[in-house]
Amino acid sequence: MKQNRKNLYSFCFVFNLERRNISMTLLKIKKTLQPLIVEGKIIFGFGQDGIERSIEKSELNIDILKVLNGEKEREHLTISTEEFNNKVEALKDLGLLTINDYDKQYKYSRNINFFEWMDISNNTDPSIYQRKLNKAHVLIVGLGGIGANVCEILARLGIQTFTIIDNDRIDETNLTRQGTYFKEDIGKNKVDRVEKYIKKIDSKINVNKINKYLATKNDLQEIFKKYNFDISICCADTPKHEIDVWFDDLSIEFNKPFISGSYASTVINTFCMNPNLTITSSELYGEQGAPREQLLENITFSTSVIAPVTYMAAGLISYQAFSVITQLNYKPEAIQIDLFNWNVYKYDLKKK
């Protein structure tokens, strides 16, 4: 009986349901935040701006943390149940408690640990963000250096439903920077090979494949009408400039967030247009761009890129998609990374 009581006090705390409307939960200190004693305070998430929180260093606080970590029995504390509950509630309000079971064998365990680290709200269940990802439907247009890699990253993140669009076939040059393709895929349709690749990651993934070039806004509009996706990602570079404008207009019309990503040799750009919240990509580039007069005739820009750049761009875009879907640390900003000078630029996208 005593051992059972110890287990109960170590891991389970019953709150006053009528007063706080909080159900019985297995609350514990977030392991990801690793509390440390620094200069007279107990610091959680030490050294990470925006994540770091602190409480007073006191014997009582240390004892409560030990109880919540299963190192000490609740019955050994001399405070009242009400005082104990108030202390635990304060820790919960700081976003320091969790019901994460840290099951290392669970497929998404590392994801969930990451969400726990990121979440500074009073939510105690980090798995809710994984469920949001699993339920999300993402449209990706363009399966080249960025789009193909975005598909892989989002599949590993837990996205279960994709609509992918591209009319291109794989050639040998794609193998240097597009991670979903292999030598034996040369000559085959990109949509088919991407589907096969991400289904190897998770056989439960659903893929709507469209082997088509989007030549007009009406072509894209039909996609918006037919597929009930949650967010769209434009990784296509043609029709040049026009396609981003189409996405702007249709994202507003259908009230769906749209992410645009690109690279130009050593520069990576990513932008999320969120209807009713941000300016459009056209407005952004109109503000930041400058008129240019071409010097030489009959010259076109030749793609100059290496795999590290395409993977960084895809990672940045995928991270932005993650933040929009989960709303964890979502910021209405455009990001530009200049790899040549190792500079990062941010642009506020909020409507004025």
Task: Assign 303 a pLDDT band (cuts: 50, 70, 90).
Answer: confident
Mean pLDDT confidence for 155-178: 96
122 within a domain of the structure (yes/no): no
CA-based nearest residue to 188, from 124, 143, 128:
143
116 lies in some domain: no
- Helical residues (DSSP H) of 136-241, grouped into ranges: 147-157, 190-201, 217-226
Q: What is the pLDDT of residue 304?
A: 86
153 and 89 co-located in one domain: no
Q: State whether 183 and 260 are in the same domain.
A: yes
The predicted pLDDT at position 284 comes to 85
What average pLDDT does the structure give for the chain?
Answer: 89
Instruction: Report the alpha-carbon distance of residue 41 to residue 227 in Å, rounded.
Output: 52
Query: Dmax over Cα atoms in the chain, in whole Å?
Result: 88
In a domain, 112, yes or no: no
- Above 60 in pLDDT, residue 215? yes
CB-based contacts of 175: which residues, under 8 Å, 6+ apart? Answer: 181, 182, 183, 186
Across 20-30, average pLDDT = 64
Among 51, 84, 102, residue at a domain's last position = 102
Residue 261 pLDDT more than 80? yes
Give the CATH number of the domain where residue 344 resides: 3.40.50.720
In a domain, 275, yes or no: yes
Q: Which helix (H) or strand (E) holds 269?
A: strand 267-273
**279: closest CA among 221, 187, 337, 352?**
352
Copy the structure tokens of residue 288: 């930041």
In 3D space, the residue among 26, 30, 13 whose CA is nearest the CA of residue 42 turns out to be 30
240 falls in which pLDDT band (50, 70, 90)? confident
Give yes or no: residues 202 and 86 share one domain. no
Considering the domain architecture, whether residues 191 and 259 belong to the same structural domain is answered as yes
**Token code pair at residue 283:** 């407005």
Residue 281 belongs to a domain: yes
CA separation for the pair 121, 127 (Å, rounded): 14
Task: Answer yes or no: do 78 and 168 share one domain.
Answer: no
pLDDT of residue 301: 66
Q: Is residue 23 part of a domain?
A: yes
pLDDT at 294: 55
Domain end: 81, 102, 123, which one?
Answer: 102
CA distance 206 to 195: 9
pLDDT-based confidence at 281, cuts 50/70/90?
Answer: confident
Q: Are residues 83 and 154 in the same domain?
A: no
Spatial CB neighbours of 56, under 8 Å, sequence gap ≥ 6 = 41, 42
Q: Is the pLDDT of residue 4 over 50?
A: no
Residue 272 in contact with residue 251, Cβ under 8 Å? Answer: no
> What residue numbers bound the domain in which 162 lies?
136-348
Same domain as 312, residue 241: yes
324 confidence band (pLDDT: 50, 70, 90)? very high
* 64 and 213 fall within a common domain: no
CATH number for the domain that contains residue 34: 3.90.930
Condensed to tens digits (0 to 9), the pLDDT of residues 54-92 reads 999 999 999 999 999 999 999 889 999 999 999 999 999
What pLDDT is stored for residue 238 in this prediction?
86
Residue-level pLDDT at 286 = 72
**Residue 117 resides in a domain:** no
6 shares a domain with 153: no
Report the interhelical angle of 307-326 vs 127-135 (nearest 10°): 110
For residue 94, give the 3-state DSSP assignment: coil
In a domain, 343, yes or no: yes
pTM over 0.75: yes
Domain count, the chain: 2
CA angle at 349 for the pair 345 and 351, rounded to the nearest 5°: 155
Domain co-membership, 322 together with 179: yes
The residues with which 234 forms a beta bridge, in sequence order, are 141, 260
300: pLDDT confidence band, cut at 50, 70 and 90? low
Domain limit, last residue, from 102, 123, 151:
102
19/306: higher pLDDT? 306
